[in-house]
Amino acid sequence: MNRRRRGGRRGASLLELTFVILVVGILAAAAQPRYAAALARYRIDAAAERIAADLRYGSILARTTSRPVTVRFFSAGGASYRFDAVADPRQAGLVADPAEPSTWYSVDLTAEPYGVALSGSHVCTFDIHGMADRDQQITVGVGANTRTVSLRAGSDRVET
């Protein structure tokens, strides 16, 4: 099935290249909404899992240090949360100054890779036994997609 073209040249014609580019463009346009939806789900899932892991960390920290640990969630002016007077565990050797909130462990959920919003402001306090002081429903979302992280009063259970 060897076909020879005029002049002995090999390669694709301009018409063939145009057709390939057209097909690739159509496929990309069809895939874009699915990609955007998958990216939104990924962001929501990652943020919800991060919140759940940090709430578990707060419970364990309260139990191991025998002191209450408070986590504050802020939805106004962005989506973030912070641990009151707790050093960032990602930075070895950092000591939290109780009078300086900029040294406390905090997470910005509007930054990459999350890019999500929080609904409402919440305050979660774990007693010296690592138990939550009240029920909490923390909802994160992108557009119409949301996911809720639940914390039960009198328990150290966190559910996503």
Rounded distance, CA 42 to CA 39, Å? 5
pLDDT in tens, 123-143: 999 999 999 999 989 999 888
Show me where the domains of the chain are located: 13-159
Rounded distance, CA 86 to CA 154, Å? 22
The reported pLDDT for the residue numbered 93 is 67
Q: Tell me the pTM.
A: 0.77
**Ranges 44-53, 95-104, 150-159: which has the least confidence:** 95-104
For residues 114 and 47, the answer to whether their CB atoms sit within 8 Å is yes
For domain 13-159, the question of CATH label 3.40.50.2000 is answered with: no
pLDDT in tens, 9-49: 688 888 888 989 999 988 888 878 888 888 889 999 999 99
Structure confidence at residue 101 as a pLDDT band (50, 70, 90): confident
Structure confidence at residue 92 as a pLDDT band (50, 70, 90): low
The reported pLDDT for the residue numbered 60 is 92
Rounded distance, CA 124 to CA 133, Å? 7
Reading phi first (left if > 0) and then psi (alpha if -120 to 50, else beta), residue 153 is in beta
Q: How many CB atoms lie within 10 A of CB 86?
A: 21
Rounded distance, CA 3 to CA 13, Å? 14
